Amino acid sequence: MSTVIEQPVQVRLIASAPRMETVPATLRYDPDDPFAVHMAFPAPATLEGTDVSWEFARELLEAGIDAPAGVGDVRVRPYGYDRTVLEFHAPEGVAMVHIRTSEVRRFLQRAEHLVPVGREHHYLDLDGDLAVLLRDAC
């Protein structure tokens, strides 16, 4: 059984209205999925009124705290002192949140203690995944 990191954070939701609303979110890292991080938002913080979770590369989050990164559904970039912006692009629109860079760094350090960067492939269960694929093919 692996250790999963879950770190509650407060993010500022950037909306078209001038005020910025603070909402709860959770950063999550699971060594069983070593290349990915998850950011979850509870139902009250979303337009749909349902829990929403985004999955993206740990490498993207790490790169985006120092320089703009990403060209797809998730983009990350530094913003001012100790802030990082995450943009989530979906067919319904774009959600942008500010998060403290120090919280992101702390989360990434905790994840690196579990799975060092560059060693992710050692945590994959390729044989198990292949067995599942082949079992379903028969």
Taking only the tens place, the pLDDT of each residue in 42-61 is 887 776 778 889 999 999 99
> What is the rounded CA–CA span in Å between residue 37 and residue 59?
9
Instruction: Supply the pLDDT for residue 129.
Output: 61
Distance CA 32, CA 40 (A): 18
Please report, in angstroms and rounded to a whole number, the separation of the first and last CA atoms in the chain: 29
The number of residues making up the chain comes to 138
pLDDT tens digits for range 104-124: 999 999 999 988 786 677 666
Mean pLDDT taken over the chain: 84
Q: What is the pTM of this model?
A: 0.81
DSSP E strand stretches across 20-132: 21-29, 36-41, 52-57, 74-78, 83-90, 93-100
Which residue's structure tokens are 């959770």?
26
The reported pLDDT for the residue numbered 61 is 96
